[in-house]
Amino acid sequence: MKLLNEGSPAKLVKAVFVFLFSGLILLFYLVFYGFLAALFTFTMWVMLQTLSSDIPKYRDRISSPGLMISPKPDTALEFYFNKSDAQSYAEYVSTLRKFLESYDDSKQSQNINCTPGRIFDQNDVAVKKACRFNLSELGQCSGKEDKTFGYSKGTPCVLVKMNRIIGLKPEGEPRIHCTSKEEGMVEINYFPPEGLIDLMYFPYYGKSLHAHYLQPLVAVQLAINSNSTKEEIAIECKILGSPNLKNEDDRDKFLGRIAFKVQMTE
């Protein structure tokens, strides 16, 4: 409020000065604002007491998950790199490496192997287990064989992930499918094959209950035609095969889909 006072016109400033010099008014506002601050704190505390620490009260604003990719270029989802210049894609590689750190086998020692193809319901279990996601499923994009994730070979990898939403149980056989507007410029490979997302990774039980949860990933490898270099290739990835995952929202361009551009030079 001090700021407000300073910004007031001459008349109010004068009034405020008079107030400041008469200690009583200062005391009054001290008490008044002190009371309000206490009341605010108290009310907030009461409100927070009504909340569960495990799961938000309402989840109606995020009924369907969005898609996101890694690495995520700084400039709006556009990849520019020179396959012969390691420096030009160093950031993408390091981002991927960092992103996959939590998927390292050593970090997954507590995670269990779940039954593929089935929703892994743990509602009755107090301690929720996380399913193991083997990096090897990402094949050439796992970073194990090719430390540059294909960027040096002109086959860059992009990881597609689906936003975590507590309690979301996809139906059917969800998979990521990407298309390029410019036909014939790029060949798209998926890891795991066909871009399948296994149902065993769902549902998610929230940060506090499901501490070691790892969301399933789909790696998209773009084999760019050698004659299509220097051209901007627009790629759109969508989640398909699941009736309860939206991918056609008019307003939300990231709901169940994501579009990005790749331009590679030699």
Partner 1 sequence: LLQKKSDVYSVEICGTKDLEKTDIGDEEEKYKDLKGNKKKKKAEDLKKEVELDDHKLSASELEEKYGTSINKGLSSARAAEILARDGPNALTPPKSTPEIVKFLKQMVGGFSILLWIGAVFSWISFGIQLAQGAESPFDNLYLGVVLALVVILTGIFAYYQEAKSTNIMASFSKMIPQQALVIRDAEKKELPADQLVVGDIVEIKGGDRIPADIRLIFTQGCKVDNSSLTGESEPQSRSCDFTHENPLETRNIAFYSTTCVEGTATGIVINTGDRTVIGRIASLTSGVGNEKTPIAIEIEHFVYLVAGVAISIGVLFFIISVSMRYKILDSIIFLIGIIVANVPEGLLATVTVALSLTAKRMAKKNCLVKNLEAVETLGSTSIICSDKTGTLTQNRMTVAHLWFDNQIYSADTSEDQTTQPFDQSSPSWTALSKIVTLCNRAEFRPGQENLPIMKRVVVGDASETALLKFAEVILGDVMSIRARNRKVAEIPFNSTNKFQLSIHETDDPNDKRFLLVMKGAPERILERCSTIMINGKEEPLDSEKAEAFQTAYMELGGLGERVLGFCHLYLPEDEFPDTYPFDTDSMNFPTSNLCFVGLLSMIDPPRSTVPDAVSKCRSAGIKVIMVTGDHPITAKAIAKSVGIISATSETVEDIAKRLNIPVEQVNRREATAAVVNGMELKDMSLQQLDEILCNHSEIVFARTSPQQKLIIVEGCQRQGAVVAVTGDGVNDSPALKKADIGIAMGIAGSDAAKNAADMVLLDDNFASIVTGVEEGRLIFDNLKKTIAYTLTKNIAELCPFLIYIIASIPMPIGTITILFIDLGTDIIPSVALAYEKAESDIMNRRPRNKRKDRLVNEQLAVYSYLQIGIMQSVGAFITYFTVYAEQGFLPSTLLGVRVDWENNAINDFEDSYGQEWTKHQRMYLQWTGYTAFFVSITIQQVADLIIRKTRRNSIFQQGLFRNKVIWVGIFSQIGIALILTYGLGHVTALNFMPLRFQYWFVAVPFAILIWVYDEIRKLLIRRYPGSWWDKNMYY
Positions that interact with partner 1 (CB under 8 A): 1, 3-12, 15, 19, 24-25, 28-29, 32-33, 36, 39-40, 43-44, 47-48, 51, 54-59, 61-62, 65-68, 72, 76-77, 161, 163-166, 204, 206-208, 210, 213, 249, 251-255, 258
Smallest gap from Cβ 46 to partner 1, in A, equals 10
Nearer to partner 1, 37 or 90 (CB): 37
**Cα 184–Cα 76–Cα 158 angle in degrees, nearest 5:** 50
State which residue, 43 or 115, has the beta carbon closest to partner 1. 43
Provide the minimum distance between the beta carbon of 147 and partner 1 in the complex, in angstroms, as a whole number: 25
Can you tell me the distance from the alpha carbon of 199 to that of 18, in angstroms, rounded to the nearest whole number?
69
CB of 15 to partner 1, least distance (A): 4
> How near is the Cβ of 92 to partner 1 at its closest, in Å?
15
C-alpha dihedral over 125, 62, 165, 241, to 10 degrees? 110
Residue with smaller CB distance to partner 1, 50 or 87: 50
| Closest approach of partner 1 to the CB of residue 262, in Å | 16
Q: Which is nearer to partner 1, 181 or 253 (CB)?
A: 253
140-144 contact pairs (CB < 8 A, 24+): 140/189, 140/191, 140/219, 140/221, 141/191, 141/219, 141/220, 141/221, 142/100, 142/191, 142/219, 143/96, 143/97, 143/100
Distance CA(125)–CA(118), nearest Å, equals 17
